[in-house]
Chains A and B, each alone.
Chain A
């Protein structure tokens, strides 16, 4: 059960394409499932579940952007707007038609996917920075459209209060209940993203990312697959928006400004583009690091600064400085992201104690 291979001994295609090349991988998955589905909801205090909830929601969004940026090589700075689309779609469906979350959640995703295809059209003709700017425009246009359409935004405040989701008559409104809700959503998103990368569509995405002309020559309809990539990625973003809406009980476009788009880009790039695990690492890094810095400065700060006002100010600014500094540090140490860092460690121990 807990053995290691001492070299590369694949003798069949089945072995090579196996989901779990080593038994330990399967046991790790089982362990993680037990940890997050059984241990965490039973043993972790509410406050830490809140953090896990925020990470869980961010994971869904980061996975979506990773499909576009990491797999297909197309950039989007408008992902926060797609979240907004998902949020308002779900909020309107939930408040006007009293629809349950298992309809509004995919509906929000589908609406975001539809808008995503429209926004993705320029990607057929333009690439790189030019595409970045055209998706940036989408961020502002969608925002403006929502604010100025009371039928969507629900009035001058642009916020719609949404009842919390309920399962079999139980309203999920504590952090613990919402944790399970978000956990299931994040698990489904992770499984979908993992399988997508190994499917025909996923391989087409990778071909387009590596060289779009070559992809076209081997028979991939580049235009279609680019739009599919935008659709799938926006679907994840829309679902993220719906999750935020149910999590906070309100849909509000101010939850999704441009900086959120940038945050998600940061998650994918820091985590390592093109890998599901990387997106998860990135989401956890971007959400947890500021909290971790804040908590540690809060505990050591009082010994250094006597005046609480000065301490608060120093803490706030140090958080930004350390956060930015650590991002630079990790990207300099490993430009391929946290995922590569993890792979290096794993590969080292995989054949340990033999170095070749």
Chain B
């Protein structure tokens, strides 16, 4: 009996030691991040991926989140669905408590899975506009202006520029795929409300030939304003084509995937593209404390910061993604009493608790609570000048009620 007790005690001690060891191991928190460093959206994926890793490294170098280090599991899905499905399951198997999506089809394909697995995910700047509805999409956070909010923001910007919309002619120049067409419902709705004339100019893939549409807009239709929604190489082609057709670029505003440094450079440089406006959901430029901290971190290591930092539009979006992810994690861990063993649902509540998180002006004043997973649909217009991008005004929301009504109607339709 005594011997049995002793054995049991020894076994208990061993078990406790093992448990203690695993608990110590669990201090590392795993988050998943999908990026496309190869494939059709590689120009975005490279800077975004680097930014996420750099930001997490910065936070870890400062002691992590309440003493817990964060590990990023990065998976390149090449904008294809099967690798993304495999990547998501790998993240799940490694215990990721949140996932950053990359690409609209990937977001579509995995939405059912994250809801079932109760793992929150973000889809900033892509995915579906209706996922802003937190009741219908409890675990998906667009967390940045959707195409619907961008369309509303673009119309709002046009209204401000022209001093009113009544009777004006607006051209919508868009990539003829589902993502490109997604802005249409909002534009058509606003056309009814504001009484402007809307003409649609679809551009077939791959969008590297746009002279017909540009001439049509500039000479025949004589648009007062152009709202464009193009991807890949198409935005730069648009700039040169509109310029060739004699259309003033200051009357053009692009959605978020048409206003990066690469687009301007491919169109012939800043002097060529002067006046061109682009919507952004994260700040543009080098003038943010977090970027300086990352540079200082590399300098302290005696290394050069990654070259992708020069692409401030995409790199800063990566910082926004990582910033939001870690802020949600911090909220979740704080709510969990400082312990690292948070669940996906707790991290989701951490996203809900995000309020007034600005990263020194890099992020708009997002508020992800109150059932609005888009955080308000904030956008900011940056205009191309000879010396780079300059903000045209502050963060704003365009026609928020109209967008929210459309989201509600769409959710009601699908139920």
Report A's interface with B, CB cutoff 8 A: 45-47, 50-51, 54, 58, 144, 147, 153, 155-159, 161, 164, 173-175, 244, 247-250, 252-255, 259-260, 287, 290-291, 294, 307-309, 312-313, 315-317, 319-320
| Complex CA distance for A308 and B128, rounded to whole angstroms | 31
B235 interface residue per 8 A CB criterion:
no
| Cross-interface CB contact of A47 among B76, B92, B108, cutoff 8 Å | B92
The residue that B89 contacts in the complex, of A50, A161, A248, A307, with Cβ under 8 A, is A50
Q: Report if B26 contacts A (CB, 8 A).
A: no
Which B residues are in CB contact (< 8 Å) with A254? 104-105, 108, 177-178
Which of A46, A164, A247 is most buried by chain B, counting CB atoms within 10 A of its CB? A247
Question: Are B110 and A248 touching (Cβ within 8 A)?
Answer: yes
Q: Digit string of B43-76 for contact with A (CB within 8 Å is 1, else 0)? A: 0001001100110010000000000000010111
Q: In the complex, are the beta carbons of A147 and B181 less than 8 A apart?
A: yes
In the complex, which residues of chain B have a beta carbon less than 8 angstroms from the beta carbon of A157? 128, 178, 182
Whole-angstrom distance between the Cβ of B77 and the nearest chain A Cβ: 10
B177 contact set on A, CB distance < 8 A: 147, 254
Question: A159-B108, A248-B85, A249-B109 given. 10 additional CB < 8 A pairs?
Answer: A46-B92, A144-B176, A161-B414, A248-B81, A248-B109, A254-B104, A291-B83, A309-B50, A316-B37, A320-B38
Indicate which residue in B38, B92, B176 contacts A147 across the interface (CB closer than 8 Å).
Answer: B176
Contact of A312 with B80 at beta-carbon distance under 8 Å, contacts A157-B128, A159-B178, A253-B178 already known: no
Q: Tell me the smallest distance from the CB of B413 to a CB of chain A, in Å.
A: 8
- Answer whether residue B116 sits at the interface, using C-beta atoms and an 8 A cutoff: yes
CA distance A254 to B127 in the complex (A): 12
Chain A hits for B46, CB < 8 A: 313
B74:A308 contact, CB within 8 angstroms? yes
State the 9 A-B residue pairs at the shortest beta-carbon distance, nearest first.
A249-B112, A254-B105, A158-B178, A316-B37, A248-B109, A50-B89, A47-B93, A316-B76, A309-B50
A158 surroundings in chain B (CB, below 8 A): 178, 181
Residues in chain B near residue A312, CB distance under 8 A: 35, 37, 49, 53, 74, 76
Do the beta carbons of A147 and B178 come within 8 Å of each other?
Answer: yes
B184 interface residue (CB < 8 Å to A)? yes
Q: Determine if A259 and B82 form an interchain contact, defined as CB atoms under 8 angstroms apart.
A: no
CB neighbours of A47 from chain B (8 A): 89-90, 92-93
CA distance A309 to B57 in the complex (A): 10
B185 within 8 A of A: yes
Q: Is the CB of B93 within 8 A of A46?
A: yes
Closest-CB distance, A333 to chain B (whole angstroms): 26
13 contacts between A and B (CB under 8 A): A50-B85, A54-B82, A54-B85, A144-B176, A147-B178, A153-B178, A248-B85, A249-B111, A250-B109, A253-B178, A312-B74, A316-B78, A320-B38
For B84, the closest partner residue in chain A by CB is: A248
Among B74, B108, B113, B177, the most chain A Cβ lie within 10 Å of the Cβ of: B108
Distance of A282 Cα from B113 Cα, bound (Å): 28
Bound Cα distance from A34 to B320, whole angstroms: 50
Measured between C-beta atoms, what is the minimum distance from B406 to chain A in Å?
A: 11
> A222 to B30, alpha carbons, bound, how many Å?
59
